[in-house]
Every structure is written in structure tokens, then in C-alpha cells.
A and B are shown apart, each in its own frame.
Chain A
Amino acid sequence: EAQVTQNPRYLITVTGKKLTVTCSQNMNHEYMSWYRQDPGLGLRQIYYSMNVEVTDKGDVPEGYKVSRKEKRNFPLILESPSPNQTSLYFCASSSFGGVYQETQYFGPGTRLLVL
């Protein structure tokens, strides 16, 4: 079954304690991305990756890091989480058909609360 998995689904942490949210896809997609969703602000892209070792900033990259060492995995790292990073996070993947992006598949989401 084609899917994007994220772990953990729910996470409560404290300010400053480093954490990693994992993301994995089994569709051999080149493009992977992280989004955060906040009430009234919609879905905003944090980082994206066009392929292994190729990553770039989205609209809200501050306070986040990513890496793409394998095609299937794209972890999101919060080195020193702060309360303003409390949010619902989605990982997504897709392929590119030339110049346009194909269907984007989303993981189930990770609810993060930073105290």
C-alpha cells in the first residue's frame, strides 16, 4: 500500500529539548516536504527536498532542520523547540512530471505541544 508514515503521532515536550519527527514514504518519490498547520494560518511549508542531499527552505524554516540521506526518509529536527512551534505537522511526498508536481500524498500528521 502506497503511504507516508510519520512518527510520533502525538508529542508533548518542554522548551529546549531536542526532538526529531520521522517521515518515510514507500512510493520512490523524489519530492518530500514538511508543512505546519496552525488555526487561521492554513498550511505553510517548512522545508522541502527535491532528492537525496537536496533540500531547500519553504516559507517558515526558522527553528527547524531537515536532512535527506535516503530517498525514502525525510526527518524534521527541532534542535531547541519553543512554544511557538506548537502545531500540527504534516509530511508529504510526490513525484514531478517534468515541470509540474504530481499528486502530493500526506502522512497522518504529528501533533506537537511544546511547554
Chain B
Amino acid sequence: QQPVQSPQAVILREGEDAVINCSSSKALYSVHWYRQKHGEAPVFLMILLKGGEQKGHDKISASFNEKKQQSSLYLTASQLSYSGTYFCGTVSGTYKYIFGTGTRLKVLA
């Protein structure tokens, strides 16, 4: 079963912050985050590994809590270029890959 993301959609003004959550009903060993612009391929943002780590670059960061089977993506001081659909993803079972349900983010000027 695919990870569930929340919220499904969010609209922000430039400079505002957002949090996107990814929850799995199965154990997570690693989590990937991607951003996809309309009509384009997903672009990798970051990977988080088991160990409750937190990562980030620029104004985008993420956390991973394997006990809660959750990951969160934090976007601070959002820019117009952050608009798109965000997906979490993880390896499930024997190397099968599953994407989350997706979160549409729109940043307005």
C-alpha cells in the first residue's frame, strides 16, 4: 500500500513556510523526496536513511522518524520555483519501489 501524503494540496504566498507529511503503514528503511513540475519528470530532492536523521539544503529540509513510519518535508521562505507536486517514495519488499500519493504545492507571488 502506498504511503499517504498530507496535505493533498497547499497554496502559499512567496516567503511562507509549508510542511508536507508522508506516512506509511509499513516499516520504512529509507525515504526519498521528489519534486515534479507539470509535464516533466520527477526530480530527486533528498534521501533519508534509517536513524531518525534530518537533512536539508537551501531552504528545503526533511526529517525521518522510522518508529512512527513517517517523514516530513519542510519548505521555508517558499519561492515561486517551489511550485509543483511533491512525492515521497520508498523501497518496499524485494526492491519494488512505491511513491506516495503526492502533494500539489502552488506558490503565489
Per-residue 0/1 for B25-52: is the Cβ within 8 Å of any A Cβ (1 yes, 0 no)? 0000110101000011111100101000
What residues of chain B lie closer than 8 Å to A104, measured between beta carbons? 32, 34, 42, 44, 89, 97
What residues of chain B lie closer than 8 Å to A50, measured between beta carbons? 95
Chain A residue nearest to B31 (CB atoms) is: A100
Per-residue 0/1 for B85-109: is the Cβ within 8 Å of any A Cβ (1 yes, 0 no)? 0010101001111111110000000
**How many A residues touch the partner, as a band?**
20 to 34
Q: Compute how far the CA of A33 lies from the CA of B91 in the bound complex, rounded to whole angstroms.
A: 12
**How many B residues touch the partner, as a band?**
20 to 34
Q: Compute how far the CA of A50 lies from the CA of B93 in the bound complex, rounded to whole angstroms.
A: 13
- Interface on B for A, CB 8 Å cutoff? 2, 29-30, 32, 34, 39-44, 47, 49, 87, 89, 91, 94-102
| Dominant secondary structure of chain B at its interface with chain A | strand
Per-residue 0/1 for A7-34: is the Cβ within 8 Å of any B Cβ (1 yes, 0 no)? 0000000000000000000000001010
- Known contacts A58-B96, A109-B41; can you find 6 more A-B pairs with CB under 8 A? A45-B97, A48-B95, A50-B95, A59-B98, A102-B47, A104-B34
Q: Compute how far the CA of A58 lies from the CA of B91 in the bound complex, rounded to whole angstroms.
A: 11
- Interface on A for B, CB 8 Å cutoff? 31, 33, 35, 42-45, 48, 50, 56, 58-59, 90, 96, 99-109
Q: Is the CB of B87 within 8 A of A42?
A: yes
Q: Is the CB of A106 within 8 A of B47?
A: no
Q: How far is the CB of B34 from chain A (nearest CB, A)?
A: 8
Q: Is the CB of B49 within 8 A of A48?
A: no
Q: Is the CB of A106 within 8 A of B99?
A: no
Q: Is the CB of A44 within 8 A of B47?
A: no
Chain B residue nearest to A104 (CB atoms) is: B44
What residues of chain A lie closer than 8 Å to B101, measured between beta carbons? 42
What residues of chain A lie closer than 8 Å to B47, measured between beta carbons? 100-103
Q: How far is the CB of A42 from chain B (nearest CB, A)?
A: 5
